[in-house]
Chain A
Amino acid sequence: MTIAPKAPRKLSMKDRYSALTRDLDWEPSYVSKEQIYPLTTFEGITIHDWSKWEDPFRLTVDAYTKYQAEKDKRLYAVLDGFAQSQGHLSLTDASYLNAMKLFIQGIAPNEYNAHRNFAMLARHLEGGGPRFAALCQCLDEMRHAQTEIHTLSNYNKYYGGFHNFSQQHDRVWYLSVPKSFFEDALSAGPFEWLIAIGFSFEYLLTNLLFVPFMSGASFNGDLPTMTFGFSAQSDESRHMTLGLEAIKFLLEQDEKNVPIVQYWLDKWFWRGYRLLALVAQMLDYMLPREFMSWKEAFELYFEEQMMKGLFEDLAYYGIRPPLHVDKAIQEKEHVSHQAYWILYQFSHAAAFTTSVPTAQHMDWLEEQYPETFPTYRKLWEKEQRNIDNGGRHFIRGLPQLCQVCQIPMGFTEADDPFVQAQRESIFEGERYNFCSDGCQYIFEHEPVKFRRAWLPVHQIYQGNCGGPTLPDVLNWYGLEPGDGGEYLGSIDHQNWLKWHGDPAHVENDHAPAAAGAEGGQ
């Protein structure tokens, strides 16, 4: 009698997932766990049982790559179609791309940074579940960096400000804001990173970052960026879930973790909120076709969803809302106006352009901010008179920077919203300046780390940025003519008028002869 060989047993999806992720974990026999995982104790976090970590990804590597490849195919088909049909000509206006210049300069390099640190976590977290989750998010972040760059690279053929984003991310003054934010997190321990990026950035604030950019793209004819946004959306949902899992895991493991996590929440809420000042001004000032004000976005995505939902849940663990959140709520009436006013005055040293808002746009801002915008409108009207008299307000010097967020100190007092805040602390004989109580609070907890901050203004005065003159510094930044300054009359603006047959076009040396058809390379 012949016995038929047993058919190979097929694992259920759950067993297969377990076999391909957690079953790759093992107990060390000839080295200690401390030797294998040297980074999980110095922050003071106590973990009793790593198996309690619930992995929100629940994907095996083969399933993960299959899904992502399908999404990539759809995205790259849209990119090809947009490029071949000269889709850039159907944007609302060339000035819309200032928002995307900020995105590729400030966000895409930090997607790459995020991939680096999640790769580190995929090596250094002790549990098999969190290691695998970190691996998946590492791959997501790398993919996002690549797809963002590919999505926006088509615009580099026709418009300034896109050509040198990576070097500019490391050097240009306003990009030190997102760069220092992420490098603060990169240089922290693995648990602080999870709260900083995994929770505070990916969960607490992510809707305030991605929804404005992607919806702005949708409203302004930018199909590639909108498609990228959809492509990343399912990943971002997993990242949010991972962030929430991370904080609950730490809080449930030991009550001694609570005050540590609370400080990280206080710190990273404020750091993330300050970073979003760049998004706030983009939303209110850089979109030719507006869709939502910063105030409205803040109320919906932060006050409604986070303050009334998330933090009520976290109170169960002994976590309160972040310190200084009241200041952020008060600032929603002001922060976008103050941030754009900063960028407007320094855009001669930036890789994007700015302009006085049109009367129609100011009417929209006044509808959104009836209590506060009239005051800012007077500033713009003064600037318009200045322009009419032959001026254009570019600052002739360098601004005071906050030691922590690195933004020019243009934010105002909570109880006097038209007087800029000044704060200082003295540590080991040296004075440090801050824009707010929130930034001062962070410095006073970590002065040794933050005294190491690379502040662009201080470095220029030390002679570390290409030379003593403005052209020296702009050359060191990697800026080219047309990258920054005033939008009206700029190379982008002139080309836009030419390509659309606008009689206001003035021939200049910079416009590609038939860029609408041929483009540059």
Chain B
Amino acid sequence: MTLQDTIARPEIKSIGEYNPASRSAQELYGDDILMHVWWKGNPWFVAAATFRVSPQMTFADFWTGVFVPYHEEDPDFDAGKGWEQFDWFLAVNRDAVPVGVSSETTLADLGVTHKAVLGFTAA
């Protein structure tokens, strides 16, 4: 999936050619991507968490294998209530684009691309 640039290349002032590559490009992670998972409005977690995942991972596998082990650190989090306890969205700057999650939906289906932020809040 090609992302639409939000900024153009500005003029570069340098003493020679200067065009280094990104040190975080998706290609550096094989077939995986980095994704950020953000519990909006819960300060218990100081920041969104970053995970290296396969975009083909189903949401059910993501929930049990990635999400729950991390967020169980919050004593108020009850994994038994399932993912339905949250509203899920993709964060784009200050906007929240809602996404519908289900057990067989893959992260790629949800629109989670490299370094995207998958947010959630209490429903």
Is A470 an interface residue, CB under 8 A from the partner? no
A467 within 8 A of B: no
B13 at the A interface (CB under 8 A):
yes
A419 and B40 contact, Cβ closer than 8 Å, known pairs A38-B15, A400-B117, A428-B5: yes
Q: Is A503 on the interface with B (CB-CB < 8 A)?
A: no
CB distance from B4 to the nearest CB of A (A): 6
Q: Which residue of B lies closest to A452 (CB)?
A: B20
| Residues 378-396 of A contacting B (Cβ, < 8 Å) | 379, 382, 385-386, 389, 391, 393-396
In the complex with contacts A422-B94, A462-B28, A396-B10 CB distance below 8 A = no
Which of B5, B18, B24, B75 is the one whose CB lies under 8 Å from A429?
B5
> What chain B residues lie within 8 Å of A342 (beta carbons)?
46-47
Using A399-B49, A448-B20, A451-B22 as known contacts, say yes or no to A430 and B10 having CB atoms under 8 A apart. no
- Contact check, B15 vs A420: say whether CB atoms are below 8 A apart: no
Q: Mark A398-438, 1 if CB is under 8 A from B, else 0.
A: 11110100001110010000111011111111111100000
With a cutoff of 8 Å between Cβ atoms, the chain B residues found around residue A341 in the complex are 43, 46
Q: Which residues of the other chain, A, contact B14 by a CB distance below 8 angstroms?
A: 42
Say yes or no for A458: interface residue by CB 8 A criterion.
Answer: yes
Whether A420 lies near B47 (C-beta < 8 A) is yes
A478 at interface (Cβ–Cβ under 8 A)? no
Binary contact readout A442-482 vs B (1 if CB under 8 angstroms, 0 otherwise):
00111111011111011101100000000000000000000
Those of B16-31 within 8 Å (CB) of chain A:
18-26, 28-29
The number of inter-chain residue pairs (CB within 8 angstroms) is 158
Minimum distance in angstroms from A128 CB to a CB of chain B: 23
Distance in Å: Cβ of B91 to nearest Cβ of chain A = 5
A225 interfacial contact with B, CB 8 Å: no
> A398-B50, A410-B46, A458-B23 are known contacts. Are A425 and B15 too (CB-CB below 8 A)?
no
Candidates A43, A393, A422, A427; contact of B38 at CB < 8 Å = A422
| Cβ of B86 to closest chain A Cβ, rounded Å | 16
The 16 sampled A-B contact pairs (Cβ below 8 Å) are: A42-B14, A393-B73, A400-B47, A408-B46, A413-B94, A422-B48, A422-B91, A426-B4, A427-B9, A429-B3, A430-B3, A430-B22, A449-B18, A451-B23, A457-B50, A462-B29
Report which B residues bind A (CB closer than 8 A). 2-7, 9-10, 12-15, 18-26, 28-29, 34, 36, 38, 40-41, 43-52, 69-70, 73, 75-76, 91-94, 113-117, 119
**Other CB < 8 Å A-B pairs besides A341-B43, A345-B46, 9 of them?**
A393-B44, A395-B45, A422-B93, A424-B92, A427-B6, A430-B115, A449-B18, A459-B23, A462-B28
